[in-house]
A and B are shown apart, each in its own frame.
Chain A
Amino acid sequence: MASVNLLIGVCLLYVTGLFGIAFLAERAASKGRRPWLRSPLVYTLSLSIYCTGWTFYGAVGYAARSGMEFVTIYLGPSLVMIGWWWVLRKLVRIGRAQRATSVADLISSRYGKSNALAIVVTIMAVLGVTPYIALQLQSVTTSLSIFADPFETATSGAQAGMNQISAGFWIALGLALFTLLFGTRNLNANERHDGVVMAIAVEAVVKLLALLAVGVFVVWGVAGGPSQMMARIDASPIGAWQMDGSRWAALTALAGAAFLCLPRMFQVLVVENDDERHLQTASWAFPLYLMLMSLFVVPIAVVGLDLLPAGSNPDFFVLTVPLSQGQNTLAMLSFLGGFSSATSMVIVATLALSTMVSNHVVMPIYLSAQGQGATVSGDVRHVVILSRRLSVLVIIALGYFYYRLSGGGGALAAIGLISFVGVAQFLPAMLGGIIWRGATRIGAMCGLVTGFAVWSFTSFLPSFGSDGLISSAVFEQGALGLNVLRPHALFGIEGIDPTVHAVIWSMALNIIAFILGSLVSFPTPLERLQGAQFVNVFAHSGQAKGWSASVAESEDLMIMTQRILGAKEAQTLFRDVARTQGVQGFLPEPTPDFLQRLERELSASVGAATAHAMIGQLVGGATVSVQDLMAVADESAQMLEYSNRLEEQSAELSQTARKLRNANAKLTQLSVQKDAFLSQISHELRTPMTSIRSFSEILRDTDGLDPSEQTKYASIIHVESIRLTRLLDDLLDLSVLENGQVSLNESVGSLGDVIEHAVVTCGVGQRQKLIVTRHRPRENVVMHTDLDRLAQVFINLITNAHKYCTAPQPELTIDVEQDADGTFVRFSDNGTPIPGNARDVIFEKFARINDQEGKGAGLGLAICREIMTRLQGAIFYEPIPDGNCFVVRLPQAESLAAQ
């Protein structure tokens, strides 16, 4: 007899293995080895989270109770997969094009990015799926207790020696930990979780092998071969075909609907889909998986009914049959299979639900509580991650409490079916949204609420038993004493099976409300636009260009993006776009394409509705372009194309015109500055020249000067000529650099030393009040370049910060960052930000801000830029919220990381 401790040990070992696999998969993904992680096989296996602990254990119990009916749960999804061309193909394409993160996100996105709709879907999903999570906890703890005391539990079916409640608690805790670790670690743009997907693919293999092993043992080991098995099946109590035809058809349809609507299935089918072609492979491979999973269910049930004492709980025949035959290893494998099914379901379901809760409930509340909308202060990213983590904990806690409350009663399959009927209520809104342009937000809302209400009344609330949440009087006489409102006989029609009754009425009323609501209401422009996008996703694939962006300020967008995605990710994104647009520096042109991309990136973090609202606030309201109106109006393709071309050309023209205007403004400004510089330089040259001349005249013409006076005058002449020389040196330096005649004196050194040298040279800490903050460990970079020239650049930047920083307590932070694009040294101060119009010219010669008198000739930054160009690096300005930041990119090939 395998002891419980041994079993727990094996479980822990198995879970550790899963952690390891998830960890390795994440590592491989971060190194760019995705193709292997994202093969069609892994995709197909990940779909197997459809088979939960319910299907692993419960299918056999189901078969023992009602023969072949269990198979309907697998037939529906098989038909949906085989018919992928009809629905799934479109769903996956839309989900990817719209960057949908969940069912709620997809529905909200289709109906004009309405958050109210998303909240309704989220609440329904949480209510529908929580019992299901409880069910998984129950299946694991009960199976553990069977090992603890197999025959007592098997006969009494309820209590055992071990403490199931505390076991449930530890399991829930472990699952929460796994989900937190691999599900909410990062906020990436596409919401994919390589570690989790890989782990559930492995679990899929484990549960399939476990069930097949028990099946093979039963057929060949116990019954003695397929033909004897078949004879035994016909001789068993369930040997004659007995089927309620309405259940057979309704459950097949229900399972198919739930397969499309379950949040966890949407997560693996659509969100985690990496390549649409994988769907084609899965269209036959997943039905094969389902077939294998159900192949031995009836044999195991029949043998269980045969061998085990009457009254044994048939839900756990998969465990008790091998145990009763003394096959402890097999029982252990089968236990692991059930454990796998339960854990993978809980992890993915929790992940999917937490994304919904966080994106559609927590984040909108948080953002509106901040009262600032898009211009939130601080980094929002940690808030998003925190809210996801809290959602995970809350959902698993809800499941655990439901499990404690329900006390582990009821056949497993019953709870599962109730959950299925609940989530199937999404189907009309979802399917209607992708095939019918006329579906509206009002219609979807009516359908969802109606279906949800009917489901609660006919299926969910009665599941707590008569006199549970509904009194038995209501069952017999109807709510409010109305005979037409009986939970199991709506409209007074009796004799329908309760599950079929719930399916038929909830779906029928849901669809009727959905269609009626859509017919009588009128959609907003955004809804009509999204409707066209969804329904005709294959005709005009790609996003609606919903933004007209001439008013949008790239800088505001940048600051907002930094707060949501994080500074580094935002900078990488903006730099990428700027590079593809061919724009110098950090800030790309706010083209509609760019704004659309930005919205999609943001929606992965905070949901479509919130992202849309945030960008709308900055850009100044959603505008629907001519192109989109044409798409909605569905004009002839030729007209569309012609107008597209015209619009493209006009957009191009206005962009060129803007560039020209910018260039012109820059030139004018430069010319003004040049004039100013000429007068400045003549002034600068004349002042020392005048004093040199007058003092040398005094020395020449005045007799009887005493030696001290002579020394004084001579030293004035000396100082003035030094000043003159420095000015001329700067000019010469610049012209040499510009003409490319400079010879570089390259050597190897450490970045830290160069920064140290620059800081010391500027006299920081001795005579200056400027405070310099450094991050020395990160400065540990070895370079091969002209160190003196680099130091010159650094000195110039530090001196500038000292000279121009107007803050009462000037501070300068020098930070080093390394990423795929190279090594960056950032000098950020807390002074007044340089005004926008001056930023374009600060790196030009003679450029000075606000004509600050006497503080230099405006050559420093121009020299810096020339030096960095010579060194194959770069220097640019980057706006930060309160201050200025100059970024020096070190020569790429020549900076080598230490160690």
Chain B
Amino acid sequence: MADKNTPPVFLDRRSYRKRRMMDAIRLTPVLGALLWMVPLLWAEGPQGALDSEPVQTTLSSAIKYVFWVWLGLIVLSAALWRMTRDDVARIHAPDTDS
């Protein structure tokens, strides 16, 4: 069955690292979507808090949360870009291991 075109079972350390970087690029938007959907769980404003408990999320903390997530995603993407930019062109074709 096995012919010459079958890729080797184990990759060397460097290309293994590159593959995992590519996985990270693929997973970043998933992480972003999850973090940005967290606000769905926050306590509502005055209308939501009918009883005496004054639990509610302030707008300033919401702003801080959304923008810190944003900045984090940008930094992560930029870092991944720096690490993989030379390889992406080469990996395009054979990348079917997922």
Contact = CB atoms under 8 A, between A and B. Distances in A.
Contacts of A539: 93
Residue among A83, A230, A539, A637 with max Cβ neighbours from chain B (10 Å): A83
A67 interface: yes
B44 A242 contact: yes
Contact of A239 (B29, B59, B95): B59
A606 B32 CA distance: 41
A243 B36 contact: no
A291 interface: yes
B38 to A, nearest CB: 10
B39 A243 contact: yes
A690 B59 CA distance: 116
A298 B59 contact: yes
Interface in A198-237: 230-231, 233-234, 236
Contacts of B9: none
Q: Is the interface of B mostly helix, strand, loop or mixed?
A: helix
A613 interface: no
A230 B63 CA distance: 9
B74 A241 contact: no
Contacts of B77: 82, 283-284, 287
A252 B34 CA distance: 12
Contacts of A234: 58-60
B26 interface: yes
B49 to A, nearest CB: 9
A638 B3 CA distance: 10
A436 interface: no
A31 interface: no
Contacts of A242: 44-45, 47-48
A68 B5 contact: no
Interface in A55-89: 67-68, 71, 75, 78-80, 82-83, 85-86
A548 interface: no
A285 B74 CA distance: 8
Interface string A248-261: 11001000000000
A538 interface: yes
Contacts of A291: 67, 70-71, 74
Contacts of B3: 638
A288 B73 CA distance: 9
Q: Considering residues A85, A86, A281, A541, which has the most beta carbons from chain B within 10 angstroms of its beta carbon?
A: A85
Nearest to B46: A240
B60 A230 contact: yes
B59 A243 contact: no
B1 to A, nearest CB: 12
B41 to A, nearest CB: 9
B2 interface: no
Contact of B57 (A86, A238, A240): A240
B62 A241 contact: yes
Interface in B1-25: 3, 5, 22, 25
B44 A243 contact: yes
Interface in A288-318: 288, 291, 295, 298
A238 B89 contact: no
Nearest to B56: A240
Contacts of B95: 538
Nearest to B96: A539
Contacts of A277: 85, 88-89
A68 B85 contact: no
B67 A638 contact: no
Contacts of B30: 83
Nearest to B79: A284
A599 B29 CA distance: 38
Interface of B: 3, 5, 22, 25-26, 28-30, 32-33, 36-37, 39-40, 42-48, 56-63, 66-67, 70-71, 73-74, 77-78, 81, 85, 88-89, 92-93, 95
Given A248-B37, A287-B70, 11 more contacts: A68-B62, A82-B32, A233-B59, A240-B58, A241-B44, A241-B45, A243-B44, A249-B37, A252-B36, A284-B78, A538-B92
9 contacts: A68-B66, A75-B66, A233-B60, A242-B48, A243-B42, A248-B39, A287-B73, A287-B77, A538-B92
The list of the 6 closest CB pairs from A to B, nearest first, reads A83-B29, A240-B45, A284-B77, A241-B57, A242-B45, A284-B78
